[in-house]
Structure 1
Amino acid sequence: MTKKINAHMITVLGLLIALTVVLSRMFGFETQFIKISFDFVPKIIMGALFGPLWTGVGAVAADTIGMMLFARSPFFPGFTLNAFISGLIYGYFFYRKEVTWKNAILCSLSITIIVSLILTPIWLAIMYNQPLTSVVIWGPRLIKALVMFPIQSILNYVVGRALPLKRLKSYLKTVR
């Protein structure tokens, strides 16, 4: 985690937050019980450049801005907590670490289990007064996990390896 953050870092973080909002709210698919988007791609970059805390903060900012501008459902703070936790996970797996298949898969697995299969069903059960064992909650969630886990793992690896992260990190550190 970077202790001092400069203007260039704030600018890059802001652009990544905006990209997260666009990918999540404009190009994502969302129903009452399921949301599919590629908003995790900018979070990979945030995690690699800024570390767990700033990625979590950026994910919360993106969730809050997206909710204010493009609300599709009622606001629920549990989903904002999900955004923060997913940002922490991306930062943990990609900050100051080489992007490997192991990291990419473990990152996707952690997010799938912790956020998609543990926390989100709890929030949905609370929001819509459904039993936690309801097929309405678990059916779409399990299908999404089976479909998105390999896609997310592959994109974690490809994006992490394709970007010149070392050059970006050194640029952000040297610019004053």
Structure 2
Amino acid sequence: MHSNVKKIVLASLFIAIEIIATRFLSIQTPIIRISLDFIPVALSAIILGPYTSGVAAAIADIFGMLLFSKGVAYFPGFTLSSFVSGFLYGIILHKKKITLKRCFFAVVTVMIIISLGLNTIWLLIITNNGAFAILSARIVKDMTMLPIQTFLIYYVWRAIESTVKSTSTFYKTF
């Protein structure tokens, strides 16, 4: 039970960081958001695993919209996208050696399935804009962000890895 409490507390910390990164430290347009929200999602996936990370990302999306909607209506498709993002990062990164190649693969997978796939579909449903206009802008954004996300996930993990492993005896049990 003790490790479950630690897991919940850590997941809550990642939820709070993700809400802050998404709602306050991002650049938002109707079809593109440039944000650092991928960092807490990826780190929670590395430490907590796919299911917990997916649930934490979905909760962060719901609470972020409830608390800081900025006049935009809630759309459940983005919550599904958040869950799947955390889940995919967890499948690829949890309990594995974190390398640049693995981080690149995780980011590409999430970009293709979530950003270019699901989120584009959700935006088409919401905005009724042309698919080509939405998709072309998202491809440019994702190609620009691909190396940035890859390197940030890798180097942030490298910076905190020894601290996480030495201070978290529960890390090995996740």
Q: When the two structures are superposed, what TM-score results if normalisation uses the length of structure 2?
A: 0.90
Deviation at 1:74, TM superposition (A): 1.7
Distance in 2 (CA, whole Å) between partners of 1:10 and 1:42 is 15
The equivalent residue for 1:29 is: 27
The equivalent residue for 1:161 is: 158
The equivalent residue for 2:109 is: 110
The equivalent residue for 1:131 is: 130
Task: Give deviations 1:98-125, integer Å, cap 9, x for gaps.
Answer: 1011110000100111111111111111
Q: SS of the residue aligned with 2:31?
A: coil
Gaps of 5+ in 2: none
Q: Does the aligned pair in 2 maintain the 1:9–1:172 contact within 8 Å?
A: no
Q: Does the aligned pair in 1 maintain the 2:22–2:35 contact within 8 Å?
A: yes
Q: Does 1:147 align with 2:149?
A: no
Distance in 2 (CA, whole Å) between partners of 1:43 and 1:71 is 20
Q: When the two structures are superposed, what TM-score results if normalisation uses the length of structure 1?
A: 0.89
Distance in 1 (CA, whole Å) between partners of 2:39 and 2:123 is 24
Describe the shift of the 1:131–1:140 C-alpha distance in structure 2 as closer, same or farther (beyond 3 A): closer
Aligned residues: 170
Q: Does the aligned pair in 2 maintain the 1:44–1:159 contact within 8 Å?
A: no
Gaps of 5+ in 1: none
Q: Pairwise mapping of residues 9-24 of structure 1 onto structure 2 (< 5 A)?
A: 9-24=7-22
The equivalent residue for 2:74 is: 75
Partner letter of residue 81 of structure 2? Answer: N
Deviation at 1:167, TM superposition (A): 2.6
Describe the shift of the 1:6–1:112 C-alpha distance in structure 2 as closer, same or farther (beyond 3 A): same
Which stretches of structure 1, 4 residues or longer, exceed 6 Å deviation after superposition? none
Task: Give deviations 1:127-151, integer Å, cap 9, x for gaps.
Answer: 1122323x1x123212211111110
Deviation at 1:64, TM superposition (A): 0.5
Describe the shift of the 1:132–1:101 C-alpha distance in structure 2 as closer, same or farther (beyond 3 A): same
